[in-house]
Structure 1
Amino acid sequence: MSLAYLGALVVSALGVGAIDVRWRLALFRDPRRAIGAVALTALVLLAIDLACIATGNFRLGASPWMTGFEVLPHLPIEELGFILFLSYCSLVALTGAERILGARRRAREAA
């Protein structure tokens, strides 16, 4: 049993959170809206995961980096962490891209 993969997800999420804090992109700009967006995205990704597990497309493989705890058969706890991380990272990336593109558009219009 190892917490390496789950730990890496947590450290990565903290890095994305630091970016979010610094530029106030998602959670630290509008927490209620960001939590809703992350929750909705995570639910969609979880539904896709569960459908793929049910059809046999996703199976739990052996890895020395994982904890070995399964929430459901073939659904390790790390997968839930990854889904939340992916949802939050995507939201921060999207809002960051919107801010950059908006600044470029305003600069072009001002010129």
Structure 2
Amino acid sequence: MPGLYLAGLVVSLVGMTVLDARFHLFFWRGPWRATAVMVVGLAFFLLWDVLGVALGVFFVGPQTLLTGVFLAPDVPLEELFFLLLLCYTTMNLVGFVQPVVARGLRRAERSRR
């Protein structure tokens, strides 16, 4: 079924967006900063992919689940959505962990006094 992988990625991105909106983890905490971080992360990983393809490390295998749309040789459209999901998930995780760690540090500081 062509496009099934892309559909799964889009559903996952919607889930990340819902979590972000509900808990103000990344874009809802600082939209301009989040956009800059996302653009830099995507650019880094797309460059990584292009270098990997050029070196023969990355290649497209069986395409039964892909749409068949390519951004560059051996870089399918789904790769962009995967990298977006990877960056978004990572930044949501960071947005979740930072306050938890900060609370733990404050608690530890209070218990030392």
**TM bracket (short chain):** over 0.9
Q: Once superposed, which parts of structure 1, at least 4 consecutive aligned residues long, lie more than 3 Å away?
A: none
**Structure-2 residue corresponding to 1:19:** 19
The structural deviation recorded for 1:69 is: 1.1
Give the whole-Å Cα distance in 2 for the aligned partners of 1:109 and 1:16.
33
* Amino acid in structure 1 at the alignment position of 2:90: S
The structural deviation recorded for 1:36 is: 0.4
- Where do 5+ consecutive residues of structure 1 fail to align? none
**Structure-1 residue corresponding to 2:6:** 6
Percent of paired sites with the same residue: 31
The structural deviation recorded for 1:30 is: 0.4
Q: Deviations over 1:13-47 (max 9, x none)?
A: 11111111111011001000001001101111111
Give the whole-Å Cα distance in 1 for the aligned partners of 2:13 and 2:103.
26
**TM-score under structure 1 normalisation?**
0.93
Give the whole-Å Cα distance in 2 for the aligned partners of 1:110 and 1:24.
27
Q: Deviations over 1:85-108 (max 9, x none)?
A: 111111111121111111111222
Give the whole-Å Cα distance in 2 for the aligned partners of 1:45 and 1:67.
21
Q: Deviations over 1:41-74 (max 9, x none)?
A: 1111111100000111111111311111111110
Q: What's the RMSD between the two structures over aligned residues?
A: 1.2
Count residues in correspondence.
Answer: 111
